[in-house]
A and B are shown apart, each in its own frame.
Chain A
Amino acid sequence: MKQSLYQNRKAQWAAYLAVFALLAMVPLYFDNPFVINQIARYTVMAMLAVSVSLVWGYGGILSLGQGLAFGLAGYGMAMTMQMQYQNPETDPIPSFMLTNELDYLPWLWEPFWSTPVGLFLTLAVPTAIFMGIGILMFQARVAGVFVAIMTLAILAAWYSMAYDMQPYTAGFNGISPPLPFQIFGYLIDPYGAPAFWICVAFLALLTCGAKFLMQSKFGLVVQSIRDDAERARFLGYNVAYYQVLLFTLSGFIAASAGLCWVMVVQYVSPTSLELSLSISAVVWAAVGGRLSLMGAILGAFLVNGIQSYMGDELQQIWMIILGFIFIGVVLFLPRGLIGVVEKIFSGKAATTDAKVIAQVREVA
C-alpha cells in the first residue's frame, strides 16, 4: 500500500518543525505581553498533554496522575524562586512560614538556597517518584483500569498533603514568590518574550525527543506492548522495563511542564495537584488525538484557547460544552482531531475508525 503524506516521516518532521518555528515567532507579531503570557501558558499545557499522549497514546497506560509530576515540580520551582528572594543573613524564612508559627527553615527547604540544586531537584524528584510508582505498578503487571485508579489514589494522597502541610507549603493559599525567576543575573519576566521562548524550547525539545524515541526500536516495542502486552512478553521483551521507562519519561515531561508553568505564572497552589487538572490533560490529548504527539499539542492549544477567548455569557456554559465535546470525541472520534487530518491526507482512511475501535477494545 502506498504510504500517505501523513505517514511519511520526513513530512511529519517538517510539519513538527514548522509548527514549533511558527510558535516561536509569536512574540515577533504580538507585542501584547498579556497575549504572550497567555500563549506561553498554552505551551506549558501542551507539554502536559504530550506527556499524556506518550504514556497513554503510545504506551496504552491511562495515568490519571500526570498532575502529580506537574504539581511537585511546580512546588520545587516556586521554592527555588522563593529562596532566591530570601536573604540568608537578614531574612532567611519565607513570610508565610512565620505566619504559620514556624520560626526555622525546614530541612526540606534548605537545598533550595542554591538555584542549580533547586532546579535539579525540581525535575529529579518528580521523575524519581514516577519511576518508583512505575516500578511498583508494572513489576506487578498492574494494567488498564487499575493503573488509572492507583495513580488517582496517589495523586489524591499528595494533594491532601500539599493542602494540609501549611507551614511547609502555605496550604490552600499556595506559594507566590515575590519576584520572577532569576538566572545568570537576569530576571525572567513572565510576560516577556524570553520566558515564552524558554517554554517553546522545552516543548519543542521534549516533543522532538519523544517523537524520535517513539520511532526508534524502543518506541516500536512500547507500541507493541500497548497493542498486546502478553504477546510482547511471549516474544521475550521485558514488558515492565519498557513500561517503567516510558512512565518515568512521561513524568519528566510533566515535571518540565510544572517548572515552566510556575515560571510563567509565578504562583503554585494545591489546585495543580487536583484530579481535574490531570483529567483535563487527558481530555486535551484525547480531543487532539492521543496517538500523535502533535495531536496532543493541538488539543491543548485548541481547548485552552477556546476556553479563554469565549465571551462571558458562554463562559457560564463552557463546562457543559467541554463535557459534550469530550463525550463526542470518545464516541465518534477515538483518534481525535488529528485522525480527521489523517483521513484527509490518506484519501481513503488507512485504518478505519472501526478498526481503531476494535484495537482500543483490545487495549482496554
Chain B
Amino acid sequence: MSVNDFWTPFELYSFLNALFIGLSVASIWLVAALGLTIIYGTMGVINMAHGEFIMLGAFSTYVFQTQLGVPFIVCIPLAFIVVGLFGWVIERLLIRSLYNRPLDTLLATWGLSLILIQVVRLTFGAAPLYVAVPAWLDFQVDLEILHLSGLRLFIMVVAVLLVVLTWYLMYRTTWGIRVRAVMQDKEMAASFGINTDRVYSITFAYGAGLAGAAGAMFGALKTLFPDMGSGYIVEAFLVVVVGGIQLAGSVLSALILGQLNSIFSYFTNDTFARFVLFSLIVIFLRFRPQGLLTEGLKRR
C-alpha cells in the first residue's frame, strides 16, 4: 500500500461488484459461524477449537480426495460426518465436565486447538496442500457488474442450504423442540423427561459437523495450512455475538458484516476495513450486548 492512493474513488460498476463480493464474504462467514451459533447458543460453550474443526474438515476432504478419489461434492457430507463424530467424542471426553463454566471451556478448547494444530502439522507436514476444485465449478462469471468464481457462488448456495437444513432441524423436528427446550431452561427440560446429556452431545456433534462441511469448502477456496482455522475464528465469533446467538441473527449479522467489510474494503483496503469493522462491532456490542435480534434480557 502506498500512502497516496489510500482512498479509492467511487465507481458504480465496480462498487456493485464489491456488493456481490460482500455477499460472498457473508456466505463464508455465515458457514463458519453456523456451527458456532448452534454450540454456543445451545450449551453456552465457547469453542475456541471451532477454527480447528474447520481445519479438520478441510484436511479430511484432502484425504478423501487424494487417497480415495472421492468427488468433491461427496466430500462435503463426508467431512460433516467425520468432524461431527470427532466433535461427539470431544464432547464426551472434555466439554462434558465443563458445562456451566463458559470461561473454562474457552481455555480448555484453546488447549484442544493447540493439540489439533500440532497433530495435523506432524501428520501432513507444514507444506501447503490443496483441495482440487472440480471441473464443473471451475468457471468464472464475468458480467459487467459481477465477477465471481463458480466456487464462491457454490459456497453461497451451500450456505443457504445449510441454513435451511439447520432451520428445519431446529424448528420442524422433535429433536429441534428438545434442543430449544434445553436452551431455554435446562432443568425444566430435564424434568419433562428430556435427556439433556444426549441433546448436548448430539448438538455439539452437529455444530462440529457444520464446521467440517465449512472446512471442506474453505479448503477448495484457499490453501490448506494446519493453522488455517485461526483465520476464521474471530470473524465467526463476531458474527455469532452480533447476531445475538441465534440462527436468524447470525444470518442477518453475517450479511451486514460481510457487506460492510466489502464496502469498507472497496473504499480503503482489506486490513483497514477489518480495523474499522471490528471497532464498529465493539462499539455496537457496548450498546447492544444482546445482539441484533434478541430482545433485551436480564442484565448482570
Instruction: State the A residues within 8 Å of B (CB).
Output: 62, 100-102, 136-137, 139-146, 148-150, 152-154, 156-158, 160-161, 163-164, 166-167, 229-230, 275-276, 279, 282-283, 286, 316-320, 322-327, 330-331, 334, 357, 360-361, 363-364
Q: Mark B23-58, 1 if CB is under 8 A from A, else 0.
A: 000000000000000000000001000000000000
The chain A residue with its CB closest to the CB of B110 is A279
Q: In the complex, how many angstroms separate the beta carbon of A361 from the nearest chain B beta carbon?
A: 5
Chain A residues with Cβ under 8 A from B104's Cβ? 330, 334, 360, 364
Chain B interface residues toward A at CB < 8 A: 1-3, 46, 94, 97-98, 100-104, 106-108, 110-115, 117-119, 122, 230, 234, 237-238, 241, 269-272, 274-275, 277-279, 281-283, 285-287, 289, 299-300
Q: Are A145 and B46 in contact (CB under 8 A)?
A: yes
Which of B112, B117, B300 has the most chain A CB within a 10 Å cutoff?
B300
Given A150-B282, A161-B271: A320 and B115 within 8 A (CB)? yes
Q: Which residues of B contact A145 (CB under 8 A)?
A: 46, 102-103, 106
Residues of A within 8 A of B106 (CB): 62, 145, 148
Name the contact of A326 in the complex, choosing from B3, B111, B286 (C-beta under 8 A).
B111
User: For residue B114, which residues in chain A have a CB less than 8 angstroms away from its CB?
Assistant: 319-320, 322-323, 326
Query: B101 near A360 (CB under 8 angstroms)?
Result: yes
Residues of A within 8 A of B118 (CB): 316-320, 323
Quote the shortest CB–CB distance from B231 to chain A (angstroms): 11
Q: Which residue of B lies closest to A274 (CB)?
A: B230
B111 A140 Cβ-Cβ under 8 A: no
Pair B230/A275 contact, Cβ less than 8 Å: yes
A364 B100 Cβ-Cβ under 8 A: yes
Which of B106, B114, B117, B281 neighbours the largest number of chain A CB atoms within 10 Å of its CB? B114
Which residue of chain B has the shortest Cβ distance to A103 in the bound complex? B3
- Known contacts A144-B103, A316-B122, A364-B100; decide if A275 and B234 are in contact (CB<8 Å): yes
| Contact between A153 and B299, CB atoms less than 8 A apart | no
Minimum CB–CB distance for A187 against chain B, Å: 33
**Beta-carbon contact of B283 and A136 below 8 Å:** yes
Q: Are A163 and B3 CB-contacts (below 8 A) given A141-B299, A143-B300, A145-B106?
A: no
A-B contact pairs, 19 of them (CB 8 A): A101-B2, A144-B103, A146-B285, A146-B289, A150-B285, A152-B234, A153-B234, A153-B281, A160-B274, A161-B271, A161-B272, A163-B271, A166-B1, A167-B2, A283-B110, A330-B104, A331-B94, A331-B108, A364-B103
Distance in Å: Cβ of B235 to nearest Cβ of chain A: 9
From A148, A154, A167, A331, give the contact of B103 (CB < 8 A): A148
User: B299: nearest residue on chain A (CB-CB)?
Assistant: A141
Partner of A149, one of B3, B113, B238, B275: B238
Q: Tell me the minimal C-beta distance from B30 to chain A in angstroms.
A: 18
Contacts of B272 in A (CB 8 A): 160-161, 164
Contact for A286 among B107, B271, B281, CB less than 8 A? B107
- B97, B112, B289: the one contacting A142 at CB < 8 Å is B289
When chains A and B are docked, how far (Å) is the Cα of A62 from the Cα of B107? 10
Taking CB atoms, residues of chain B closer than 8 Å to A286 are 107
Contact call A153/B98, Cβ cutoff below 8 A = no
If A158-B275, A166-B1 touch, whether A137 touches B111 (CB-CB below 8 Å) is: no
A334 surroundings in chain B (CB, below 8 A): 104
| A330/B230 in contact, CB under 8 A | no
Complex Cα gap A324–B93 (Å) = 13
Asked if B300 contacts A160 (CB within 8 A), the reply is no
Nearest 7 interchain pairs by C-beta: A326-B111, A164-B271, A157-B278, A323-B115, A323-B114, A319-B118, A160-B271
CA separation between A294 and B102, bound complex, in Å?
25
* Complex: A134 Cα to B286 Cα, angstroms: 11
**Distance of A316 Cα from B272 Cα, bound (Å):** 36
- A138 nearest CB neighbor, chain B only: B286
> Could you tell me the distance between the alpha carbons of A326 and B262 in the complex, rounded to whole angstroms?
38
Return A57 CB to nearest CB of chain B, in Å: 12
Asked if A320 and B300 sit within 8 Å, CB to CB, the answer is no
Tell me whether B101 and A361 are in contact (CB under 8 A). yes
In whole angstroms, how far apart are the Cα atoms of A282 and B114 in the complex? 14
Q: How far, in whole Å, are A146 and B291 apart by their CA atoms in the complex?
A: 11
* Chain B residue at minimal CB-CB distance from A358: B100
Q: Which residues of B contact A323 (CB under 8 A)?
A: 111-115, 118
Q: Please judge, given known A-B contacts A157-B274, A157-B275, A157-B279, whether A324 and B100 are in contact too, CB under 8 Å.
A: no
B2: chain A residues at CB < 8 Å are: 100-101, 167
Closest to B119 in A: A320
CA gap between A316 and B277 in the complex, in Å? 37
With both chains docked as a complex, state the minimum distance between the C-beta of B293 and any C-beta of chain A, in angstroms. Answer: 16
Residue in B103, B112, B300 with the greatest tally of chain A CB atoms within 10 Å:
B103
Q: How far is B285's CA from A100's CA once the two chains are assembled, in angstroms?
A: 37
| Residue numbers in B under 8 Å from A152 (CB-CB) | 234, 237
**Chain B residues whose CB sits within 8 angstroms of the CB of A229 once the complex forms:** 300
Give 9 A-B pairs besides A137-B286, A361-B101 with Cβ atoms closer than 8 angstroms. Answer: A100-B2, A144-B102, A150-B286, A153-B278, A157-B275, A157-B277, A317-B118, A323-B114, A360-B101
Q: How far is the CA of A100 from the CA of B110 in the complex (A)?
A: 37
